[in-house]
Amino acid sequence: MLRRLSIQDFVIVTALDMEFEAGLTVFSGETGAGKSILIDALSLLCGARAEADVIRAGCARAQLSAEFELTEPARRCLAAQALDTETEPNAIQLRRAIDCNGRSRAFINGTPVALAQLREIGAFLVDIHGQHAHQQVLRAQVQRALLDDYANAWTLAEETAHAWRAWRAALDALRRAADAVRETQLEREQLVWQLSELDALAPAPNEWETVNAEHRRLSHAADLSAGLHGALDALSNADHALLARLGAWIARIRELAQIDEALNEALAALESAEIQLREAVYVLSHYSRRVEPDPQPLAQLSARLEALHMCARKLRIPPGTLSAEHAARRARLAVLDAAVDTDALQTACTQAKERYNAVAQRLSNARAQAARTLSAAVTQSMQTLAMPGGCFEAALIPLPEGNAHGLEQIEFRIAAHPGAPLRPLAKIVSGGELARIGLALAVIARSVNPNPTLIFDEVDSGIGGAVAEVVGRLLRQLAQRQQILCVTHLPQVAVCADTHWRAAKERADGQTVSDIVRLDQSGRIEEIARMLGGIQITQTTRQHAEEMLRAGK
């Protein structure tokens, strides 16, 4: 139950603090006076998205807070989110702050939370039936949700959806396996041919690069040999070889260094150069013995390169990947040779379908029983909502294979007049009839699984007269089981309230602001008289208002 609501700098409300009680509470006032602002504030406190335009003009931020009586489902939700329930064990505080950039912060019992957490806890505290909610009842998914809610079958509906997804997943796996079996034979034949080529070639890892490098070396053996012999002659073999001349100069510099030690650094560099040259001569001499031209190894390497290139061309792969592709194709063939166990998949698919049918049938049974009760209850309500002789039916239309929502489609049907055939709700009702049917469904469905606080925002639009009086009594009857907040423009509804608030606009500092006040008995008489109509409120109007208030009790 909602205990308190505090609003600051929100739309056209400067500051407002309200306390609520059990029973039926109504809000009335002229159009645009701010009645629905309270509903908007509660929607935001329950996790609705916020825009910057909800902040009162000229203000930096809007502040909203509400205190609810803590119900057991809400307590469990708080515990699941590891939020505090110890500070006030019988109450829960929701708070929302929205700045001028549209950013907002949310709090539960003083702890910062995400909007998703606020929405989750709000679902256990408030059920808001908006101005156009009755139009939503034309949608198939809303009709299904209403019936499942009335049947208290949400758990069964979730189990059915889960079983359906499991069955479809098993069926998809079976179909993929069957397709794979058909495609495997062609792929396997191709792999066998490819592996026969690769097995005959037997490419080694990195062979393409290694053979290419050796082939390049042997192809230029004559050039390499001539160049090496020339270099070796210049360095060490000729009469005026570089090493001999360098050795003579090192001996001379060594003598000079005895005269001036400053030459020792240059001497060390020359000695190091001599050592490096001798090492180079050794390496070149060793290498020169390997590059003597020999046509036989070169021919063998050329043949190997040609074989590698031709195989890669057949398989349409780079020659450097032959060894890796050889291993990959061998592994793929092993996978294909492992038989696909379609029998096991078929068994799993059959079992999944049986599980779906079992849980979906339980859901169908619950829906069928609830549909009979709901149809009778709505039909009875229609008789008092200016639709005498009308009939309502929640029909269950079987589906050939079912779907994620069960074995049937839910369709609300109505016969608005005696003797008229039942037809889908969307095809025959007028706006006023739809509003009345929507209200009857809302009241009846919530009477089975009530939320602590149920909010109607001008749910009585499109009706009047005696029907409005019946609506007021319906709301008052429902308010005996749960707290009802209702924005209304009908005096017949307002007189049934336990508590009455009036919203009014006024000008302050050049701005339009809304003021919402709780009415005492005399205030209620004046407000009911205003709602009855007329520019001038006469004594007769006030007497009529008093009579309506007495009758509303």
Sorted by sequence, the CB contacts under 8 Å of residue 228 that are 6+ apart come out as: 284, 287, 288, 291
Calpha distance 241→227 (Å, rounded): 16
Label residues 486-520 b or e (16+ Cβ within 10 Å = b): bbbbbbbbbbbbebbbbbbeeeeeeeebbbbeebe
Calpha distance 36→53 (Å, rounded): 15
Smallest Cα–Cα separation from 506: which of 7, 13, 113?
Answer: 13
Q: What is the mean pLDDT of residues 112-118?
A: 89
- Residue 181 CB neighbours (<10 A): 12
Burial class (CB in 10 A: 0-12, 13-18, 19+), 271: middle
Q: Which amino acid makes up residue 367?
A: R
Model pLDDT for residues 123-169, shown as the tens digit of each residue: 888 888 765 555 667 888 888 988 998 898 989 999 999 999 999 99
CB-based contact 74:92 (threshold 8 Å): yes
Model pLDDT for residues 486-536, shown as the tens digit of each residue: 998 889 999 999 999 998 888 777 677 888 899 999 999 999 999 887 668
Under the banding of pLDDT at 50, 70 and 90, the label for residue 176 is confident
Smallest Cα–Cα separation from 457: which of 480, 430, 489?
Answer: 489
What global pTM score does this model have?
0.60
Calpha distance 415→429 (Å, rounded): 9
Q: What is the mean pLDDT of residues 304-318?
A: 89
Calpha distance 65→94 (Å, rounded): 6
Q: What is the percentage of the chain residues whose pLDDT exceeds 90?
A: 29
Model pLDDT for residues 208-240, shown as the tens digit of each residue: 888 887 777 776 665 666 676 777 777 777 666
Domain boundaries, given as residue ranges, for the chain: 1-125+498-512, 181-337
CB-based contact 308:318 (threshold 8 Å): no
- Residue 240 CB neighbours (<10 A): 7
Task: Look at domain 1-125+498-512 and name its CATH class.
Answer: alpha beta
Q: What is the mean pLDDT of residues 34-54?
A: 86
Calpha distance 421→537 (Å, rounded): 47
Residue 232's pLDDT is 73
Spatial strand order of the sheet with 406-415 comes to: 391-403, 406-415, 423-424
- Residue 189 CB neighbours (<10 A): 10
Would you state the structure tokens that stand for residue 529, as one six-digit string?
A: 């008289």
Angle between helices 322-337 and 295-315 (to 10 degrees): 40
